[in-house]
Amino acid sequence: MERAGGEFDLIRHIQAGLSVKSERIMQGIGDDAAVISAGSGPDVLITTDTLVEQIHFDLSTIPYEDLGWKALAVSLSDVAAMGGNPVCAVVALGVPRSWSAETVDRLYRGIDDCSRAHDCPVAGGDTVRVQRDSVITMTVFGEVDHGRAFLRSGARPGDDIWVTGCLGNSETGLAVLNSNADSSMYSEAVSCFRRPVPRLRESRWLRSFGGVTSMIDISDGLCSEIHHLCRESETGCRLYADRLPLADAAVKWSGVRGQSPVISAMESGEEYELLFTLEPALGARLDKEWTGPTAMTRIGEMTTASSGLVLVEADRESRIENRGWDHFRS
């Protein structure tokens, strides 16, 4: 539920000013979801995400149904990144005067699609008028076995760095929609941008597989997320450009633009893939035992903090900058 850069600093600042602590809050501000102890039962996960028109979405590139899907998928991705199962969602919707009841219906149809696909019922909400730009705040409540949530802070030097799926689709999809290109040539990328699939199944499998030491979802781009993992785990990292699972569409589109697809893979936000670290001894077994349709790819390893964050491209090494989609700075 937390984004990078300018906003991240603001959140740290806010956190420092909050005086009420509770032993029940096992993980508060600073991870994908808050983790609350619920006594003898599973821990409770809570994550909230706001999408604001003109800042996070533009209705010229996303139909209302897909916007509804995406609003829920974004929060479900946070639950996946914590290794949890969703229980239910509540929707706070700010509706501009220009929207008809049919428009609201279309949005809810998309929420309902995503709700059904991921078994996360909508339990309630609040619907209010806004003067101009629509706002959707989705809060998802989930569960994870007590003390078993995947945090950002558990990685150690030597752990391997893995990522689910492929990278660059979402940014490519949006770029295609904002261009004069034939979007039907990039349908997978457009679909990833409009209807991202939260990696709940992959996360669940990894939880039972074991050996995962940290996890985050890629909402702001790989560059930015690896910075979060390294900071919270107090490590450095080495990523290998030739191992990045580049999306076909990103490769094709990068060719059109005459730019390296590695940049797209490193910086594409709203991917909603999982970035995680794994005990190195378990990599071969993971490769063998994971047979799901989503790829899982080892893209590098954690190092000591003093080694910094490094991207290895052929025989060249460069520092990974902390940049990504920071809606707050824009």
Question: Least distance to a second copy from the beta carbon of 112, Å?
Answer: 5
Q: Six-digit token pair at 259?
A: 């730019």
Decide: is 116 part of the binding site for a second copy (CB under 8 A).
yes
**DSSP state at residue 320:** P
98 is a site residue for a second copy (CB under 8 A) = no
> Which segment (58-66, 91-99, 191-199, 301-309) binds a second copy by CB under 8 A?
91-99
Single-letter amino acid, residue 173: G
- The interface with a second copy within residues 242-281 (CB under 8 A) comprises none
In angstroms, give the least distance from the CB of 99 to a second copy: 11
In whole angstroms, give the CA distance from residue 305 to residue 310: 11
| Residue 122 touching a second copy (CB under 8 A) | yes
Subset of residues 14 to 73 that bind a second copy, contact rule: CB under 8 A: 14, 17-22, 24-25, 28-29, 31, 33-34, 36, 38-41, 44, 46-50, 52, 54-56
- 126 contacts a second copy (rule: CB under 8 A): yes
Task: Find the binder of a second copy among 5, 84, 94, 165 (CB under 8 A).
Answer: 94
59: its two tokens: 């209705």
Task: Report in angstroms how near the CB of residue 186 gets to a second copy at its nearest.
Answer: 28
Q: Which stretch binds a second copy (CB under 8 A): 111-119, 226-234, 268-276, 306-314?
A: 111-119
* Nearest Cα to Cα of residue 76 among 230, 191, 204, 222: 204
The first and second tokens of residue 315, run together, are 């025989």
Distance from CA of residue 61 to its chain's centroid?
A: 20
From candidates 12, 59, 119, 259, binder to a second copy by CB under 8 A: 119
Query: Exposed/middle/buried for 247, CB within 10 Å: 0-12, 13-18, 19+?
Result: buried
The helix (H) or strand (E) run that includes residue 206 is helix 200-209
The answer to whether residue 314 forms part of the interface with a second copy (CB under 8 A) is no
Kindly give, in sequence order, each residue whose CB lies less than 8 Å from that of residue 63, ignoring residues fewer than 6 positions away: 106, 194
3-state helix, strand, coil in the chain (%, to 5): 40, 30, 35
Q: 159 or 326: whose CB is closer to a second copy? A: 326
Q: Write phi, then psi, for 167 (nearest 5 degrees).
A: -115, 145
Instruction: Report the residue number, 93 or 206, with the smaller CB distance to a second copy.
Output: 93
Candidates 61, 103, 104, 312; binder of a second copy (CB under 8 A) is 104
